[in-house]
Structure 1
């Protein structure tokens, strides 16, 4: 690419090394979560939510479990103002939920903000102003002293209006564009604000350190957070919050490393909605912690329902590959992946293990409201025998012998390849029925009678070419006797009879299923399946199905050979 020389690193490392966070292995407890869907997420929508939609979304956030919810910028528009008043006046805010509002450091905006907050049981008033080099030089064209004055003036006004307004208020300050600010200056601004607010153990202040634009690798952000955590005044009475954006695709990593570095609070949105590339995705961040056995205090047990509401209210789609929430994130099409998942699920059932460790599945999809059937294993031309067998067993109770799975797997792969599409479980089942179950051509089984002496003697009736025949055979068992009768009288030869049977427990009453595999003299393997209310009859039907598949295949081979010779 051209123009590489145009770009330089715009972030600032701390003046001292801050690497204690590297000694921690993982996050051990959930942060305080603050949803900014209704402010940052809403202002990023092509069509912002109306009042009713915002009220519905607020209720969704409460149901998920958020205890802090930023509800907007009430001085920015009538809809924002009316929304906040509706929440307060209609008593829609649960007692354990704190709302948050955003304000610039301007007298009339702060006055309007507190007017909208009148009567709030618990509210965080979030003051911000930009501090980065780029903002100071290009937007405000002010020196550092003037930027500090903006923050200090706003902090004083918040304190004044809070004392004069009915309600219960806490304060939050953000040095917006923190990641593009010299760390010493960001610390100076925050400490000046803290000196105005004088936080105590009973009245803590939030210092929010946003990656307004993500400029660096996540470890740099972590070092910046740790530096601030180590040097802020009143640290025991300060809650450090992070608000990562996702410009570099590292919003989740920034938040995770930021928490290791001392952040106690995270601001973000469901599924990462927000300006430009969005905010940190709280669904992903929380479920990452969940996968390590950490209680997140958020409820994502019905992800499909949450997605449906979010998509309806925001008019935006959750991508199919979105972590945890996407339609396909637990789905395996690859044959080797499907086989490992199916075996892992079976191992889990056999061992009754406490901890989840199924290959390729980070968490149990059912824990977030996803279903095994149709979610985990889906079939196309890339799929393998294990996945196909898993679908039949889970959806229809058919437990194919291991040796049969390869044969059927190729049937399904070929069908998907020819049709150039994914095959649904019912389509896979239809292929199995048509290719293997109770096949009656060219040799149709009618009935049998067995007599047991020192060995089994069996009379078997068949129909072939519209004619009925009765043959007699002997063997070690009834199925062996019938098999010998067919081979002797019809001149059909095969070896290595494989047999398996089980009860059919899915949607069929008391039927039995049998599977038979035979090997032709040229070494090819052929399979058949029989389903019947009588277990022995099902096994005979399976044998005839395998024989018919062999005879049909050999006839086709002969016909192809004839054509080749004629040419």
Structure 2
């Protein structure tokens, strides 16, 4: 890694301090959004979209709520030209939507671009030329004045062609391409020269787009560059400052947000950040960041799984499992401490009827993007804890485990996951829990039972199958459960235990209203054994819970019946 010595920063700081953006702590309104998925994003695909795919993606962007969509570079590609003509001639552009087309500052390309947009009502025509020091020196080998002349000559042609198309509402846009590698004073000079040609006015504002064509700096540097430009552009009240961050350093979203604080009013980007090299700024993330600060993003991502599926099918790209807000695992909590906090936070929210979302570890309510608590939030593997496993059993299946039992069940389920070296699904957790703890009938199975209430006590007449042999037993107790307990002790005097705790609650399922009972007993050494009983009758549920607890104790201690009848 000694090669680091051949690198040096390639950006340029403004000639004066530009730090007013630091005084702001957050964004309070959404910017104007411009999707460049159909141009910048499409050109970065291994297999660019065909006409039908571009039309489907275009319609989807309209459904999301974009009012500005860059539809292509019509002078550079026959497919893009055909697509543009299709949406114009088939009247597929809503009256409140601006389509955007891109052109270099070259006369024949500008001419073909204006020919391609004939018949459109609202159009942003986007002019660009490279301005960076590296490009001027290495690619064009031109002086600053020559680069300015390229931009100005293109801007003048825009005026000429627009004057011949009075039926179209034009909005002109200029980008000093590679803005971040351009001396800021020169970037300001060339932008102002273009503004002076276009003479913006309230009814036809000009867009000055300042792209980090290659991201070269930390985000705060980009913010200072944007603030300087915003403060010194000509006709600022009639200029829309637009930003187009790329993600070469992995900080496009941060750079974009700080640039908006610094005077940016418009964002060009793509869904999930698709684009050349490491991509454009991710509009989904930026929009959802606003949403989670209580700001209407003006874009609809309320069905994120649908958005992801649509994007992946049309582009052939994949949304990462940890992509903010949209990834398959972004809401998943495997850690025991995280699961416990989320579970308690959900319960607190339900108890208090909290108006604001404050659940620990979840900056967004999964329901707001059509994700489910049951399948997306608490995920169980060997790192999970009792809180998460209890949450799964309660919210998916209705079991409200006593606190002590929850700890035991947590270790039990974690052990299964650890041994299998895999995540457990909610169904697998349920099956394992029921197999170990619920209505166990080995070695003791209850075949039949009746109770008689007499003289302040209860007599239980029970038929038990013990190791597949039938026994008819009767015993008295101070209630049904106590009577059954005495029956079990008659079956084998070696059974020695005492009740420790008993809980019950309704267990709602799709088809029946059941009751769930939880019994814990302790043997002579103080070891605890839990049993769960489920039945439509709460008394029977408690009986099954007790028998289960005894059967679980007898997994350790050999059970040998001593009385065949009583």
Query: TM-score, length-normalised on structure 1?
Result: 0.96
TM-superposed CA distance for 1:484, in Å, is 3.5
In the other structure, the counterpart of 1:73 is 73
- Is the 1:170–1:204 Cα contact (8 Å) retained in structure 2? yes
- Is the 2:38–2:54 Cα contact (8 Å) retained in structure 1? yes
In the other structure, the counterpart of 2:509 is 506
In the other structure, the counterpart of 1:560 is none
Which deviations, in whole Å up to 9, do the C-alpha atoms of 1:146-172 show, x marking residues without a partner? 111111111111111111235221100
Report the Cα distance in structure 1 between the residues aligned to 2:418 and 2:217, rounded to whole angstroms.
45
Report the Cα distance in structure 1 between the residues aligned to 2:312 and 2:439, rounded to whole angstroms.
47
Matched, 1:387 2:372: no
Which deviations, in whole Å up to 9, do the C-alpha atoms of 1:228-283 show, x marking residues without a partner? 11111101110000000000000000010000001000000000000000000000
Which deviations, in whole Å up to 9, do the C-alpha atoms of 1:206-234 show, x marking residues without a partner? 00000101111100100110001111110
In the other structure, the counterpart of 1:529 is 532
Which deviations, in whole Å up to 9, do the C-alpha atoms of 1:408-441 show, x marking residues without a partner? 2222112112221111111111111211111111
Q: What SS is found at the alignment partner of 1:374?
A: helix
In the other structure, the counterpart of 2:433 is 432
Q: What SS is found at the alignment partner of 1:417?
A: helix
Q: What SS is found at the alignment partner of 2:373?
A: coil
In the other structure, the counterpart of 2:105 is 105
- After TM superposition, the structure 1 = structure 2 runs for residues 482-521 of structure 1, keeping only pairs within 5 Å, are 482-487=484-489, 489-490=491-492, 491-521=494-524
Q: What SS is found at the alignment partner of 1:358?
A: coil
- Is the 2:243–2:267 Cα contact (8 Å) retained in structure 1? yes
TM-superposed CA distance for 1:474, in Å, is 4.2
Q: What SS is found at the alignment partner of 1:109?
A: helix
Which deviations, in whole Å up to 9, do the C-alpha atoms of 1:286-316 show, x marking residues without a partner? 0001000000110001011111111111011
TM-superposed CA distance for 1:523, in Å, is 2.3
In the other structure, the counterpart of 2:562 is none
Which deviations, in whole Å up to 9, do the C-alpha atoms of 1:179-202 show, x marking residues without a partner? 111111100010000000010111
In the other structure, the counterpart of 1:132 is 132
Q: What SS is found at the alignment partner of 2:40?
A: helix
In the other structure, the counterpart of 1:477 is 479
Report the Cα distance in structure 2 between the residues aligned to 1:468 and 1:451, rounded to whole angstroms.
25
Q: What SS is found at the alignment partner of 1:128?
A: strand
In the other structure, the counterpart of 1:458 is 460
Q: What SS is found at the alignment partner of 1:294?
A: coil
Report which stretch shifted further, 295-304 or 386-395.
386-395
- Is the 1:448–1:461 Cα contact (8 Å) retained in structure 2? no
Q: What SS is found at the alignment partner of 2:10?
A: coil
In the other structure, the counterpart of 1:538 is 541
Report the Cα distance in structure 1 between the residues aligned to 2:109 and 2:83, rounded to whole angstroms.
17
Which deviations, in whole Å up to 9, do the C-alpha atoms of 1:50-82 show, x marking residues without a partner? 001000000000000000000010000100100
- Is the 1:99–1:123 Cα contact (8 Å) retained in structure 2? yes
In the other structure, the counterpart of 1:559 is none
TM-superposed CA distance for 1:89, in Å, is 0.3
Which deviations, in whole Å up to 9, do the C-alpha atoms of 1:491-544 show, x marking residues without a partner? 212234321112221224122211111122222221111111211011100100
- Is the 1:252–1:284 Cα contact (8 Å) retained in structure 2? yes
- Is the 1:335–1:387 Cα contact (8 Å) retained in structure 2? yes
Report the Cα distance in structure 2 between the residues aligned to 1:458 and 1:379, rounded to whole angstroms.
42
Report the Cα distance in structure 1 between the residues aligned to 2:72 and 2:556, rounded to whole angstroms.
70
In the other structure, the counterpart of 1:351 is 352
Report which stretch shifted further, 236-245 or 385-394.
385-394
Q: What SS is found at the alignment partner of 1:206?
A: strand
Report the Cα distance in structure 1 between the residues aligned to 2:344 and 2:116, rounded to whole angstroms.
58
In the other structure, the counterpart of 2:147 is 147
In the other structure, the counterpart of 1:191 is 192
- After TM superposition, the structure 1 = structure 2 runs for residues 55-454 of structure 1, keeping only pairs within 5 Å, are 55-165=55-165, 166-446=167-447, 447-454=449-456
- Is the 1:396–1:507 Cα contact (8 Å) retained in structure 2? no
In the other structure, the counterpart of 2:470 is 468
TM-superposed CA distance for 1:462, in Å, is 2.1
In the other structure, the counterpart of 1:47 is 47
Report the Cα distance in structure 2 between the residues aligned to 1:121 and 1:464, rounded to whole angstroms.
85
Q: What SS is found at the alignment partner of 2:123?
A: strand
TM-superposed CA distance for 1:86, in Å, is 0.4
Count of equivalent residues: 556
- Is the 1:69–1:100 Cα contact (8 Å) retained in structure 2? yes
Report the Cα distance in structure 1 between the residues aligned to 2:110 and 2:478, rounded to whole angstroms.
94
- Is the 1:270–1:281 Cα contact (8 Å) retained in structure 2? yes
Q: What SS is found at the alignment partner of 2:126?
A: strand
Which deviations, in whole Å up to 9, do the C-alpha atoms of 1:534-566 show, x marking residues without a partner? 11011100100011001113349xxxxxxxxxx
Report the Cα distance in structure 2 between the residues aligned to 1:121 and 1:219, rounded to whole angstroms.
38
Report the Cα distance in structure 2 between the residues aligned to 1:57 and 1:271, rounded to whole angstroms.
14
- Is the 1:450–1:478 Cα contact (8 Å) retained in structure 2? no
- Is the 2:451–2:458 Cα contact (8 Å) retained in structure 1? no
In the other structure, the counterpart of 1:35 is 35
- Is the 1:73–1:80 Cα contact (8 Å) retained in structure 2? yes
In the other structure, the counterpart of 1:561 is none
- Is the 2:451–2:480 Cα contact (8 Å) retained in structure 1? no
- Is the 1:38–1:58 Cα contact (8 Å) retained in structure 2? yes
TM-superposed CA distance for 1:111, in Å, is 0.2
Name stretches of at least 5 consecutive residues in structure 2 with no aligned partner. 560-566
